[in-house]
Amino acid sequence: MQTTPATPDTDLQADNLRRAAIDKSVKGPVLFLFTNGAFWLMLSTVLGVLAAIKLVEPEFLGNCPYITYGRLQPAHINALVYGWGVQAALGVMLWVMARRSGQELKGGKSLLITAGVFWNITITFGIVAVLMGKSTSIEWLEMPKFVWPVLLACFLCYAWPIARMFGRAFRPEGFMVSTWYILGACFWFPWIFITANVALHCLPGLGAIGAGIDAWYIHAVILLFFVPVGVGAAYYFIPKITGQPIASAQLASAGFWSLAVLGGWTGMQKYMGGPLPAWMSSVGACAGVLLLIPVGLVGLNHHLTTIGKHSAVATSPTLRFIFFGALFYPVSGLVLALNSAFWTGANLQFTQSWYAFQTVSVYGFFSMCVFGAIYYIVPRLSGCEWLSVRLIRNHFWFSVYGIGTIVIMSLVAGWQQGADLNNPEHWDQTFMNHVINSRPYVVSRAVAWALISFSNCMFLLHLLLMVAGLGRRSSAPTLLEHDHDDHALPNEAHA
């Protein structure tokens, strides 16, 4: 990515007009996706609290069959992944791609809104069905069969215009790393999604291979959809707000292609030592550890881009969220490597560390980057500025501490569970020690989700006020600290 070269005033004005036109063209669909996504996010965190409580005290709220842990947990994860994750990702992808390729969304806006409406209705039906007892028990694909073709069609309605924008864009500089990631996400997601659904819902039954394909699906969606969108957003906003070009084109390119090459190989190590052919889980384990390379390259590049601009992290809400999101990226790579390598993975297998990986990658990394993006995008679409610094600050701190707690606690709990299972003292015992030892970790998870869902209620409210046009009328963006006005932030100039 290159910064805009110094331009005369008239050019700047023309540029701003062009940006405003692009923003206007994508306003409807993007705001629709963000608000609905924020609603699902709040709901999923509430379900997360309930599921964690049910894991410790199954008689909480009575023995109602609709809210047993076996149904709540999939509802919680599906709301997080499809309700919030994919939906918010599509909004960010559409906006960043339109801006970065300098293309307006031409027509089809009503189709996009319709697709968004269908996406939400289908997920509502799907999650209610899981709670009513129609779950398929295929992890991350628990919603019943009828859900998936609709979701695919809706996704493609968005992916097509995004890919077209990339294709039409005039790129004299030729190097636009954020759009590579976003195009990759557009391209890979339907492929992964169709493969997993055909294999698990249409073929006559793949037995243990099916379980392997499901584990692969989860890793592929995380690594080839959520990670590219998060990294793409980080590559777009970090230079934009710090005003420095991306440190190294070589690092960016290597980070992208090594992710593309390795991302599809990993996943089956979830069932290491299981009934799958041994080479499949071994390959997955190797790729899981080798993925530290793209993670490290991207992390280094982001670090080099932010150097010397750390005051902007304190001031700009967008940069603050994205900075911490980008910090969680190496953490999620590390958790993946720990879960994958045989010598640690054998201990962590089938424990809460699996939950740690899912939450750190989908929430800690991806969602934090998307929050940052939302704090930047929404004021430009709604024409007003964020109302309250305090709400943003609360959202940030609750998210960081909450998700940090969940990840650390789940990892430690995973270690404890694995150690308990392999402890010779326990072999001839009942499962009492495991159950009692893992209890405090799950309690802390419940508390952390409760704090997060509180901050998400505030976030949803804040977002709804913005969408309703009730934000601050001001030409200055809402910043977290006001005493740094001596050096005007570049994002003001960039509009």
Which of 27, 434, 445, 462 binds other proteins (CB under 8 A)? It is 434
Stretch that binds other proteins, among 15-23, 150-158, 344-352, 449-457 (CB under 8 A): 344-352
Pick the closer one to other proteins by CB: 120 or 266. Answer: 266
Any contact of residue 438 with other proteins (CB under 8 A)?
yes
- HSE, CB side, 13 Å, CA atoms: give it for residue 359: 26
Q: What gap in Å lies between CA 330 and CA 442, rounded to an integer?
A: 24
Q: What gap in Å lies between CA 322 and CA 178, rounded to an integer?
A: 14
Any contact of residue 425 with other proteins (CB under 8 A)?
no
Pick the closer one to other proteins by CB: 210 or 296. Answer: 210
Least distance CB 486 / other proteins (angstroms)? 39
Residues numbered 117-176 forming contacts with other proteins, rule: CB under 8 A: 133-139, 142, 166-167, 171, 174-175
Pick the closer one to other proteins by CB: 183 or 411. Answer: 183
Q: What gap in Å lies between CA 23 and CA 19, rounded to an integer?
A: 6
Closest among 254, 323, 336 to 292, alpha carbons compared: 336
Which of 146, 160, 397, 431 binds other proteins (CB under 8 A)? It is 431
Q: What is the residue-wise DSSP string for 166-198?
A: HHH---SS---HHHHHHHHHHHHHHHHHHHHHI
Any contact of residue 2 with other proteins (CB under 8 A)?
no
Query: Any bridge partners for residue 385, and if so which?
Result: 472
Pick the closer one to other proteins by CB: 247 or 272. Answer: 272
Stretch that binds other proteins, among 198-206, 238-246, 309-317, 461-469 (CB under 8 A): 198-206
Closest among 347, 344, 354, 394 to 371, alpha carbons compared: 394
Which of 124, 150, 152, 187 binds other proteins (CB under 8 A)? It is 187
Site string for other proteins, 72-101 (x = CB under 8 A): -xx---------------------------
Burial 425-458 (b: 16+ CB within 10 A, else e): ebeeeeeebbeeebeebbbbbbbbbbbbbbbbeb
Angle between helices 368-382 and 9-56 (to 10 degrees): 130
Residues numbered 51-70 forming contacts with other proteins, rule: CB under 8 A: 54-59, 63-65, 68-70
Q: What gap in Å lies between CA 261 and CA 31, rounded to an integer?
A: 34
Least distance CB 399 / other proteins (angstroms)? 25
Any contact of residue 461 with other proteins (CB under 8 A)?
no
Pick the closer one to other proteins by CB: 268 or 374. Answer: 268
Residues numbered 356-415 forming contacts with other proteins, rule: CB under 8 A: none
Any contact of residue 229 with other proteins (CB under 8 A)?
no
- Residues touching other proteins, count (CB under 8 A): 91
Site string for other proteins, 265-304 (x = CB under 8 A): x--x--xxxxxxx--x--x---------------------
Any contact of residue 188 with other proteins (CB under 8 A)?
yes
Stretch that binds other proteins, among 86-94, 234-242, 428-436, 483-491 (CB under 8 A): 428-436
Q: Which two tokens stand for residue 130?
A: 């899981």
Any contact of residue 181 with other proteins (CB under 8 A)?
no
Pick the closer one to other proteins by CB: 101 or 382. Answer: 101
Q: What gap in Å lies between CA 312 and CA 325, rounded to an integer?
A: 15
Q: How many other CB atoms are found less than 10 A from the CB of residue 109?
A: 15
Phi first, then psi: what are they for 63, rounded to 5°? Answer: -95, 40
3-state secondary structure 342-397: HHHHHHHCCCCHHHHHHHHHHHHHHHHHHHHHHHHHHHHHHCCECCCHHHHHHHHH
Any contact of residue 355 with other proteins (CB under 8 A)?
yes
Q: Which two tokens stand for residue 112?
A: 């996009």
Which of 346, 464, 468, 495 binds other proteins (CB under 8 A)? It is 346
Least distance CB 150 / other proteins (angstroms)? 21
In the three-class reduction of DSSP (H, G, I as helix; E, B as strand; rest coil), residue 472 is classed as strand
